[in-house]
């Protein structure tokens, strides 16, 4: 199945390290990060899940629930979680899906046959409270993800969902944002009273409106 930005994220029920979970019920009115890793007891995946666990407070602050996945069985997940906690100095407190039948992997297109016919690549989906897919990123098995970048993108997605702004290259929380072309220049002062600067008629900046 080929999913694209704006598509409704498929619902599913799966066994996880935290028991059986229905995705939509787990999501509730929160945002979600659903991400796959190639296999348990592998070095890059161990660091990735450790990093995710260390950022638990950051995800909670943004009303984001995390759900990981691999095609390994549940008993391996439980043993591996102990290793992650020990080696990364964290406590993994988010569910890891045991997708042995590859049901969820195939539903979300996480298996790329030209990379591996049996294991998932490092796919990551950010899903909004409206159950729509907001971000899709796929990494090869050899490259660990930058979860600080994932948080940065979530900040942008949550900001731009509520204001008529976009975020420029390398934007970080608290920096100036771009006023979208749909807003006329003469309407900017009323919409963005913190001020604005015009670089070009199509390139207008304003302080982050929710700060």
Q: How far apart are CA 100 and CA 112, in angstroms?
A: 16
**Is 45 assigned a catalytic role?**
yes
| 133: pLDDT strictly greater than 70 | yes
| 69: pLDDT strictly greater than 80 | yes
Q: How far apart are CA 43 and CA 56, in angstroms?
A: 21
Name the nearest CA neighbour of 53 among 22, 27, 17. Answer: 17
pLDDT tens, position by position, 4-38: 999 999 999 999 999 999 999 999 999 999 999 98
* pLDDT at site 114: 56
pTM given for the model: 0.92
Number of Cβ within 10 Å of residue 74's Cβ equals: 15
pLDDT tens, position by position, 89-130: 999 999 999 999 999 999 998 877 555 555 676 899 999 999
DSSP 142: T
Kindly state the helix (H) or strand (E) to which residue 204 belongs, with its residue range.
strand 203-206
Question: Out of 45, 64, 81, 154, which one is annotated catalytic?
Answer: 45
Q: Name the fold adopted by 13-145.
A: Glutaredoxin (3.40.30)
Q: Sketch the domain layout of the chain as residue ranges.
A: 13-145, 163-206
CA 35 to chain centre: 7
Domain 163-206 in CATH 1.20.1260.10:
no
* Triad 26, 28, 33: Cα angle to 5°: 65
Residues sharing a CB contact under 8 Å with residue 42, sequence separation 6 or more, in sequence order: none
């Amino acid at each position: 199945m080929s999913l694209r930005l704006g598509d409704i994220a498929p619902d599913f029920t799966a066994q996880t390290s935290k028991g059986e979970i229905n995705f939509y019920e787990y999501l509730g009115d929160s945002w979600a990060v659903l991400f796959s890793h190639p296999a348990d007891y592998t070095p890059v995946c161990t660091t990735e899940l450790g990093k995710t666990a260390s950022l638990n407070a950051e995800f909670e602050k943004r009303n984001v629930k995390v759900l990981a996945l691999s095609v390994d069985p549940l008993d391996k997940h439980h043993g591996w979680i102990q290793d992650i906690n020990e080696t990364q100095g964290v406590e993994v407190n988010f569910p890891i899906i045991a997708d042995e039948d590859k049901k969820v992997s195939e539903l979300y297109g996480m298996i790329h046959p030209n990379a591996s016919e049996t294991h998932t690549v490092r796919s990551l989906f950010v899903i909004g409270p409206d159950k729509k897919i907001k971000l899709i990123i796929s990494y090869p098995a050899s490259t660990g993800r930058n979860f600080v970048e994932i948080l940065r993108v979530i900040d942008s997605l949550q900001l731009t969902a509520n204001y008529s702004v976009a975020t420029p290259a390398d934007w970080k929380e608290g920096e100036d944002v771009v006023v979208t072309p749909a807003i006329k220049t003469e309407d900017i002062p009323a919409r963005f009273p913190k001020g604005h600067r015009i670089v070009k008629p199509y390139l207008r900046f304003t302080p982050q409106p929710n700060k």
